[in-house]
Amino acid sequence: MELIILSGFLGSGKTTLLLRLSQEFRSQGARVAIVVNEIGDIGIDNALLKRIDQNVWELVGGCICCTLASDLIQTLREIREKFCPDKVILEPSGASQPDMILSALECGGSELVGSLHWLALIDPLRLTELLAVLEPLMESYLRHADAAVITKGDLASTNELAAARAWVNRLRPDIRCITAGGGDADQLSLASAAGQAKSSMRELLACI
């Protein structure tokens, strides 16, 4: 099965993108499972569960890169045995360390995952603020990614979008960088430029 990891800090738009990708994959006839890692004990809300059907597995009460690493592998094994999906979308908590997630997958999940794709989500509205306190973690997201997704393209100013893209290009000049519009997940338009939703969704899907 194919594993797609969406990394980004809290509020960067991971869940919105998760919903949109799930919708796209399912429209193509793929079987999709979703794994969500929540630090707290409550987990994601019931409204979200209803919107993405029942193929959702929650890992709560810790981080999958450390205390829940074994739970992640067990969950992937259970997903394969019970649901046999084509694609699994993993939304780690914003505090997850990419190196440790990869280590857990290599140690216990190599036989479960046929291919791995990583998307780093970047919030242009809070980039300066997040870099001031979380720069090493933000850089780690990007260094492990196959593509960078700058979210909230409909809300950010031209300068904010340019600053986010400049940061991406400085660290990973070789990486594909896509700008995503915000809004409701059912109407999310992924666009490299305004009005280019279809071509940019194709560009995003080409990364995974």
Tell me: the pLDDT tens digits for 43-91? 454 455 556 555 777 776 555 555 556 778 888 988 898 899 999 999 8
Interhelix angle 98-108/69-82, nearest 10 degrees = 50
Walk across the sheet containing 115-122 and list its strands.
56-60, 32-38, 87-91, 2-7, 115-122, 147-150, 176-179
pLDDT interval class at 39 (50, 70, 90): low
| DSSP state at residue 154 | T
Give CA–CA dist 147/128, Å, rounded: 20
**pLDDT confidence of residue 47:** 52
Chain mean position to CA 117? 10
**pLDDT confidence of residue 197:** 55
**pLDDT confidence of residue 186:** 38
**pLDDT confidence of residue 37:** 78
pLDDT interval class at 187 (50, 70, 90): very low
**pLDDT confidence of residue 165:** 97
pLDDT tens digits, residue range 110-137? 788 889 999 999 999 999 999 999 999 9
Say which amino acid occupies 34: I
**pLDDT confidence of residue 164:** 97
- Residue 95 neighbours by CB distance under 10 Å: 15
pLDDT tens digits, residue range 7-34? 998 889 888 888 888 888 999 999 999 8
Domain boundaries along the sequence of the chain = 2-207
**pLDDT confidence of residue 101:** 84
**pLDDT confidence of residue 184:** 41
Burial of 117 (0-12, 13-18, 19+ CB in 10 A): middle
60 closest CA partner among 48, 52, 72: 72
Retrieve residue 68's tokens: 């829940």
Please tell me the CATH code under which domain 2-207 is placed: 3.40.50.300
